[in-house]
Amino acid sequence: MFLAVAIPVRGIVRCAYPLRTLDGDSFKVRDCVSGLIRTIDLAYIDAPELFQVSEDHIPIGANSKDSLSARLKTQENLKLHIVSARGRRFRALVYTSQMVNTIQVRAGHALARPSGYLDIHFARKLKNAMSMARSQRLGMWSTTSFLSPRAFRKLEKKQRLMEIYPPYYCVPPVDKLK
């Protein structure tokens, strides 16, 4: 089953079909005019990374992806409002009968990350959705403790760098000093 998605690119609305969900805030679509595969990121939210788990071992990243996947599968039409584009990757506000970006935050599957360019009304709506999810202990807020997705990515990057460039705590062999 294919869903039609309108993608405005430089003022032109194009049709596209969702292909698969990547994580809790991004999915792939195929542009039906050009055939290009594009990545859509939900704008102004930050969902856990796919393999991120909470401290009490709840797979919050996989749960977030499943939530977005279920929301996209049940819709016949999506309307995208492109916020920014870089190559084949778009940041967008995604609409069904409601805004998917806000639904993910309200369900506790993403954090609100409003930026300075965002409409104040929408920023307030995102913040209210996040505080509601936190107070009702929904999604990732139901866990005892978790790293924010941004902190998780930073820690993951640091660990990868440590594997590539280990710290030099050991003293080099004497013959190497000569």
> What pLDDT was estimated at residue 123?
83
Q: Report whether 81 contacts 95 (CB < 8 A).
A: yes
Name the 3-class secondary structure at 17.
strand
> What pLDDT was estimated at residue 10?
41
> What pLDDT was estimated at residue 99?
84
Cα gap 146→93, rounded to integer Å: 26
> What pLDDT was estimated at residue 128?
93
> What pLDDT was estimated at residue 109?
94
Q: What is the dihedral of CA 12, 67, 69, 41, to 10 degrees?
A: 40
Reading the chain (178 residues) residue by residue, the pLDDT tens digits are 445 555 544 433 456 677 889 999 999 877 767 778 888 898 889 999 988 898 889 999 999 999 999 888 876 567 777 777 777 677 777 777 788 889 999 999 999 987 756 677 788 888 999 999 999 999 999 988 888 888 888 888 888 777 776 665 555 555 554 5
Global pTM value: 0.77
Instruction: Walk me through the domains of the chain, giving residue ranges and CATH numbers.
Output: 4-164 (2.40.50.90)
> What pLDDT was estimated at residue 63?
94
